Structure 1
Amino acid sequence: MKPRVILFHKPFGVLSQFTDEGSGYPTLADYIDVPKVYAAGRLDRDSEGLLVLTDDGKLQARIASPKFKKSKVYWVQVERIPDDAALEALRRGVVLKDGKTRPAKVRRMEAPSPLFPRDPPVRFRKSVPDCWLELTITEGKNRQVRRMTAHVGHPTLRLIRAQVGDWHLGGLRPGEWREA
């Protein structure tokens, strides 16, 4: 039987699980009424974008486990404009408290289109420019992208996962899902 795969555009503020365990935050259950599917990997509550869900445990492990090196593409709005040295550090891998990251692919990019409004909006400061990066990693340490950009001096303001392996956000709006 073919595994069921659901692509979900997780909005900001939503937990990547079906129960809130008393937190009061919205969960996947508020958006997806499909029995026996589970998130393959996680996105923090303050991150947005593509979350892949499946009913196949082996597929779930292949997507989520770093040992399978499934690429994940993020659109990252960072504080200030990273210079070439900062981007090169990300490309080589940076040393975080839990070890060195694998080398990342990174490039500056224009703001994603369409860029859906976020509630609450990202703070805007006239005196501090920001920049969008496309960052591709093949692992998924806790809050890794945020820690990597902070490590090179450019804190993350907004984080959107655009792709997991061959699956893309496509035209999904925040809160929408479709079968893959």
Structure 2
Amino acid sequence: MEASNLAHRHFIIYKPYGFLSQFKSHDSKQQSKNFLGALHDFPEGIMAIGRLDEKSEGLLLLTTDGKMSDYVNSRKVEKEYYAQVDGPISAEAIEKLKIGVEIGFNGKKYQTKPCKAFALEALPNLPTRSKKIRDERHGPAPWISVVLKEGKFRQVRKMTSAVGFPTLRLVRVRIGAIKLNNMQPGDVIEVTDLSSLLEEG
């Protein structure tokens, strides 16, 4: 993809747990919610490229460039998620995730596309979540990696539930070649060009 117009501005952020992927309230019911605008003085016209639901955390790209947003959302860019699941997830369940499972989307049944999925052998190095997760005394809560090129609403959560292991915590750790690395919840990094950072390798 060609480099973005220099007039546009781009940001990489760590969306914290409990924040909506929007910048201000759109109705009175959202007055008590947390919005991205509280994290930084973002420019006019800023938009999130894809979204993370309120209970999900991690990497979120922001831009004032609609073409850049369309490019990332066009399924050409991988998104990797670390999901902590409820129970000792089996190899069979992970294989089902990889092949594709049936989930509900917009009131209809949807078959997810083949993806990459595997169990993490070690605990990921992630910040402690602001709202406590249940601990191992209530049973195993292992982590898996799920890598998608699509992004339906709450897709990873619906996928793990479909194979019998609901997601307890969900963190997006990579978009293309951009990684969360050592970012902390609420961190905001402004970059000059997203397209070059997204390219693999």
Q: TM-score range by the shorter chain?
A: over 0.9
How far did residue 125 of structure 1 move? 5.3
Q: Residue 99 of structure 1 aligns to a residue in which SS?
A: strand
Q: Residue 60 of structure 2 aligns to a residue in which SS?
A: strand
Aligned pairs for 1:169-180 (under 5 A) are 169-180=180-191
Q: Residue 7 of structure 1 aligns to a residue in which SS?
A: strand
Corresponding residue for 1:130? 141
Q: Tell me the amino acid that sits aligned with residue 169 of structure 2.
A: R
How far did residue 33 of structure 1 move? 0.8
2:81 to 74, 85, 102: 74
Corresponding residue for 2:97? 90
Q: Tell whether 2:99 aligns with 1:99.
A: no
1:50 to 44, 51, 59: 59
Report sequence identity in percent: 38
Q: Residue 77 of structure 1 aligns to a residue in which SS?
A: strand
Gaps of 5+ in 2: 192-201
Corresponding residue for 2:38? 30
Q: Return the alpha-carbon distance in structure 2 between the equivalents of residues 118 and 39 of structure 1.
A: 22
Q: Return the alpha-carbon distance in structure 2 between the equivalents of residues 125 and 172 of structure 1.
A: 26
1:16 to 16, 21, 31: 21
Give the superposed CA RMSD: 1.3
Corresponding residue for 2:195? none
1:167 to 164, 168, 178: 178
Whose Rg is larger? Answer: 2
Q: Tell me the amino acid that sits aligned with residue 71 of structure 1.
A: E
The one-character-per-residue Cα deviations of 1:42-72 (angstroms, maximum 9, x if unpaired) are: 000000000000111011111124xx33210
Q: Return the alpha-carbon distance in structure 2 between the equivalents of residues 178 and 91 of structure 1.
A: 33
Gaps of 5+ in 1: none
The one-character-per-residue Cα deviations of 1:89-129 (angstroms, maximum 9, x if unpaired) are: 0110111133110112111112211x211121112252421
Q: Return the alpha-carbon distance in structure 2 between the equivalents of residues 127 and 140 of structure 1.
A: 31
Per the normalisation by structure 2, the TM-score is 0.84
Aligned residue pairs, count: 177
How far did residue 32 of structure 1 move? 2.1
